[in-house]
Amino acid sequence: VELAHIDWLQRHTPPDPRLVAGIGDDAAVFAPFGAAPLVAAVDVITDLVDFRIAEVTPEQIGHKALGVNLSDLAAMAARPLAYLAALVLPQRVGDEPPAAELAQGIHRGMQRLATAHHVALAGGDTNTWSGPLAVSVTALGLCTGRGPLLRSGAQPGDWLLVTGPLGGSLLGRHLAVAPRVELMIALHAAYELHAAIDISDGLALDAARLATASACGVELDLAAIPVHDDAARMAQGTGRTPLDHALGDGEDFEILVAAPPAEAARMLAEAPRATQLTRVGQCVEEPGLWQRTGRGERIPLPPRGYQH
């Protein structure tokens, strides 16, 4: 539903001069009405889809609900300002914690992450119902002096870098989102970046989105993709390859960045080892998603990933 619905929304939403970027990027960017453009992102996570309430703590749910939004702001290289949270809480069922206790745990999880990233809680709404838990967070941020980093600025020839290893997030990392806020602000300040997207639905699918938004193609060098240990562990159970998990699992919440070759090379050379910046491919003229084989051939790569 989600992708088709976003398409539909883009076609049916009139352009508005107050928005520099609207539906279809990681976050909306407002035309400046002050010193810095405002950036806003919304994400909703739900029981049964994004977590299983019986298997996680309320704090983990809150952490993830805010974390996925901060990851969207990170992809814009925006500095988080504030968040608003809407909770729809199940009435107590069986052994589940009562609604108030659940709400407080979720807010504790959000607040811990918010404090770490200096984000203020600006508003909330809390309802109780007979359905399962849903948590919707809207995050607001401000662009730095370098302006927003959109999905749409990549150019053929740009190198593509990722900020960390991918795959197997379902083993736990999907809950412990570590949004790349500070790293992206630092990179955006020190280097000329062309475009970025956060990897929420899988490297292949999100790389294809960046390509589409930038009206170019993306060629991934599969041998270069940093595969997380979790992807290897997952692969033991699924019979798929670790690389396949790295390409398609999603919820990595790393950032895919496009930058001109000289800047990208400088970034890779200068980056502290801890950042784990890795080159995974490049932008090409031909639209679409491609892989480079060991023999240097370019063949189509299906943009598989988590389709909502």
- Give the interface with its own copies as residue ranges (CB under 8 A): 1-2, 4-6, 8-9, 12-14, 16, 18-19, 22-23, 27-28, 30, 32-36, 38, 40-50, 81-82, 84-89, 99-100, 103-104, 107-108, 111, 115, 120-132, 134, 136, 138, 140, 142, 308
Residue 140 to residues 187, 211, 236, Cα–Cα distance (Å): 20, 26, 40
Question: Residue 202 or 217: which CB sits closer to its own copies?
Answer: 202
Q: Which CB sits closer to its own copies, 2 or 286?
A: 2
Tokens of 25: 């990027």
**Least distance to its own copies from the beta carbon of 220, Å?**
27
Name the residue nearer to its own copies (CB basis): 149 or 283: 149
47 vs 158, which CB is nearer to its own copies? 47
Residues 6+ apart with CB under 8 A from 34: none
Nearer to its own copies, 82 or 232 (CB): 82
Tell me the C-alpha distance between 67 and 53, whole Å. Answer: 17
CB of 107 to its own copies, least distance (A): 6
Q: Is residue 181 within a helix (H) or strand (E), and if so which, with residue range?
A: helix 181-190
Minimum Å gap between C-beta 280 and its own copies is 26
Cα dist from 9 to 136, 153, 306, whole Å: 19, 22, 20
Beta carbon nearer to its own copies, 68 or 246 = 68
Nearest residue (CB) to its own copies, 44 versus 190:
44
Q: Least distance (Å) from its own copies to the CB of residue 94?
A: 16
Q: How far is the CB of 286 from its own copies (least distance, A)?
A: 31
Query: In the complex, what is the shortest distance from the CB of residue 87 to its own copies, in angstroms, rounded to a whole number?
Result: 8
For the bound state, the minimum distance from the C-beta of residue 73 to its own copies, rounded and expressed in Å, comes to 12
Q: Measured from the CB of residue 100, what is the shortest distance to its own copies in angstroms?
A: 5
Residue among 211, 243, 210 nearest 225 (CA): 243
Beta pairing class for 159-162 and 134-143: unpaired
**Residues 32-39: contacts with CB under 8 Å, at least 24 apart:** 36/142, 36/143, 36/144, 36/145, 37/142, 37/143, 37/147, 37/148, 38/81, 38/140, 38/141, 38/142, 38/143, 39/73, 39/76, 39/78, 39/140, 39/141, 39/142, 39/143, 39/148
Which of 199, 259 has the CB closer to its own copies?
A: 199
List the structure tokens of 250: 């999603």
Say which residues have a Cβ less than 8 Å from residue 62's Cβ, sequence separation at least 6: 105, 106, 107, 108, 109, 110, 111, 113, 135
Please, what sign has the CA dihedral across residues 105, 107, 108, 109? positive
